[in-house]
Amino acid sequence: MSEQSTPEHPVDTRVRVQGEPVDDYPATAPEAARGRVRPITVVGDDVLHRVNRDADPAMFGGAELSALIDDMFLTMYAAEGVGLAGNQVGEDLRLFVYDCPDDDGVRHVGHIVNPVLAERGAGAALAVENEGCLSVPGPHAELPRAEYARVTGFDKDGAPVEIEGTGYFARCLQHETDHTYGRLYIDRLAARPRKKVLKQMNEMSADVFARREATAAKLREEGIGRQD
């Protein structure tokens, strides 16, 4: 394989928070310090398999939405994930949080409420990569996704948000937006690989759940999350 080419322009590797670069950012999003770990839904839970409801504008700026996002960040870290949707913690609400790198090593952190994925143009570049899901604990499967994605929506206070991503982060944006419409990545697989993934999940899930418990305990020891 040939050497990786040098980018024509230097990459700004600062962390992007809600799409904006910042000069300094902690290892875990500050929201996690206020959160509590919630159980993660798994394949078969009804809320995962239907279109979730849009957040009502009356929710923006409220304590309930803010607390949910705090919980989702901490739950995502406890499960060692890079994204988590509302229905993955049992909430019938269209939103997701993320803390995900792109292929240039740039870290992207934030949340999007009522996300809308921009339509993929004809001839858009696709990448076939392994993909997994916290609600399908354990296995991964190869799946084509667009190499670029743009999602619009709102932040928890109701301000418009537009997030762009490439590579692995683009995959994350597409995967999480899918969740809000009741679609898991395994729903995009052919019958045989889907069956294989579900079989592997049954074999692997106990170990995955144990690791998540251990990670949650470690976060508590580090003083991350509500201690009540």
Q: Which amino acids are annotated catalytic?
A: 176
Is the separation of the CB atoms in 208 and 197 below 8 Å? no
d(CA 64, CA 61): 9
Assign 5 to helix, strand or coil: coil
Assign 102 to helix, strand or coil: coil
In 3D space, the residue among 128, 124, 121 whose CA is nearest the CA of residue 144 turns out to be 128
